[in-house]
Amino acid sequence: MNGAVSLLNTLQTNGVNVCFANPGTSEMHFVAALDDVPGVRGVLCLFEGVATGAADGYARVTGQPATTLLHLGPGLGNGFANLHNARRAHVPLINIVGDHATFHEQYDAPLQSDIGALSSAVSGWHRKTARPDDVANDARDAISASYGPPGQIATLVLTADASWGTLMSTASSWPLAIRPSLNEPDVGDLEAAVKALRGENVALFLGGDALGKEGLELASRVGKATGARVITETFPTITDRGAGIAAPERLIYLSEFAASQLKDVATLVVVGSREPVGFFGYPDIPSRLVSEACTVLTLAAPGTDAVSALRILAEELKAPAFESPTGERPSAPTGALTTATMAQAIGATMPDDVIVADESNTGGVHLFGATQFCPPHQWMTLTGGAIGFGLPAALGASVGGGGRRVVAIEADGSMMYTSQALWTMAREGLDVTVVALSNRSYAILNLELQRVGATAEGAASRRMLNLEDPTLGLAAIASGQGVPSSTVHTADGLVSALQHSYATPGPTFIEAVLPAGLN
């Protein structure tokens, strides 16, 4: 038995059953070992950024790590952006990165690089394995490390000779990883939060594990008991939404509007997240979004049992029973296709228990409101801001979602970063509906151009921010990768295309042509 087979057996023993892979020469023994360990599913991705984003989406839905299989330092580098998003999402994820054989490293071959330096920027745990007999235990340690808490990226670098080398001895059983419990909330922090919540102008700020159905209900009850506002992160890892589920305020993305939203908050109690700050620094706009007079109390940092903390608050404050919000989903729209009618079409047709991967960016400004009273569903967002997240995350969520339909709402510029995910969706026959929003522009950058005070009135600067000349044929890109595709120009057409997609097994792609730019 070689090191690669021992690695896959250890993964399988510990319930790590999916590997999103873009392998090269150094990883060929891992690929061959998939035949020996059929309990680990290999999913081929045509770009490393798809593999890493898919592992992120899988972990968000399942709470379990998947592995990636990446080829040396350049492969890790290609997957970096979505590893950044996964790091910000605090999900468990295991990178298996192949490296040169130990005896070959001295020659500084063309693909030699400092993998450790690349890994350190996104990994909470890193180890290089050079001996076949160390592989299983190192894999166990990587799995344990990925769970945190909070969840994190664990990178295991496997030299080629550790992978192909024969084990000197084989244990009677494969090593078992340990999944630590979440940290308990601190008693002193709980007492301070209870005292603060009995005061005035208090807000709960929720993120992470607090955004499941139970956490949202508990926070709503606490808000009802105390008069505190309940506000969620702008970009949650995954949150429960829909009819019968508490729907707090969502922190506004734009810093100046978020600061206005929080200006009257005297005490901010943070649960499952960290203090909110501006996404970027701007001239004459503070980076901190709360006022200088606001007291920030961190009750449950990421890695702390946020739901338990909220449960204790509800008990201490004698919070009333949860009252489910009432409302209706939108009717099917007709006429022109705009950002508003696009959101209404999504809301009018959404089936029960879907998973949404939202990378709609400026085109999705109306989506949260239009889907509040849809059947219960889950929503994933771009936690780290590195675009190219939506299609890979949808792919991974579908693999891990137990047959649930996934809806990816994708801006055209972002789609082009990782469009190769469509090929894997087709190959795996995944039930993913992609709605690609074509406004032929990096619309968010046109907005940011104004907000940072840059002057751009000429053709050269405008050309840097539009996606015309030539116009992208999004449906053709999807069709060319094996995904049945259509293009719609009206709200009626989008409604019909969505209904057809939900009734059709496998992936479908809908190019929704919106007015150009910020409309």
Whole-number average pLDDT of the chain: 95
Give yes or no for residue 153 having a pLDDT over 50. yes
Domain regions of the chain by residue span: 3-164, 187-316, 339-513
- Whole-number pLDDT of residue 322: 97
Residue 80: both structure tokens together: 């970096």
Residue 284 pLDDT level (bands cut at 50, 70, 90): confident
CA–CA gap between residue 490 and residue 488 (Å, rounded): 6
Q: What is the pLDDT of residues 97-149, one digit of tens each?
A: 999 999 999 999 999 999 999 999 999 999 999 999 999 999 999 999 999 99
Give the pLDDT band of residue 471 (cuts 50, 70, 90): confident
DSSP string, 327-370: --PPPPP-SB--HHHHHHHHHHH--TT-EEEEE-GGGGTTHHHH
**Mean of pLDDT values over 315-326:** 96
Residue 513's H or E segment, with its range, is strand 508-513
| Predicted confidence (pLDDT) at residue 468 exceeds the cutoff of 90 | no
Q: For residue 103, is it left (φ>0), alpha (ψ between -120 and 50) or beta?
A: alpha
**Domain 339-513 listed as CATH 3.40.50.970:** yes
Give percent above pLDDT 70 in the chain: 95
Taking only the tens place, the pLDDT of each residue in 215-236 is 999 999 999 999 999 999 999 9
- Is the dihedral angle over the CA atoms 364, 385, 298, 123 positive or is it negative? positive
pLDDT at 448: 61
Q: What is the mean pLDDT of residues 428-434?
A: 98
Per-residue pLDDT, 459: 75
Rounded Cα–Cα distance for residues 374 and 280 (Å):
33
Secondary structure (H, E, C), 155-174: EEEEEHHHHHCECCCCCCCC
3-state secondary structure 425-490: HHHHCCCEEEEEEECCECHHHHHHHHHCCCCCCCHHHHHCCECCCCCCCHHHHHHCCCCCEEEECE
- pTM value? 0.95
pLDDT number for residue 518: 52
pLDDT tens-digit readout, 495-514: 999 999 999 999 999 999 99
Q: What is the pLDDT of residues 227-270, one digit of tens each?
A: 999 999 999 999 999 999 999 999 999 999 999 999 999 999 99
- In words, the CATH class of domain 187-316 is alpha beta
Please tell me the CATH code under which domain 3-164 is placed.
3.40.50.970
- pLDDT for the residue 517: 61
Tell me if 187-316 shares its fold with 339-513: yes
Q: What is the mean pLDDT of residues 29-43?
A: 97
The predicted-structure confidence for 179-229, as pLDDT tens digits, reads as follows: 999 999 999 999 999 999 999 999 999 999 999 999 999 999 999 999 999
Q: Are 240 and 308 in contact (CB under 8 A)?
A: no
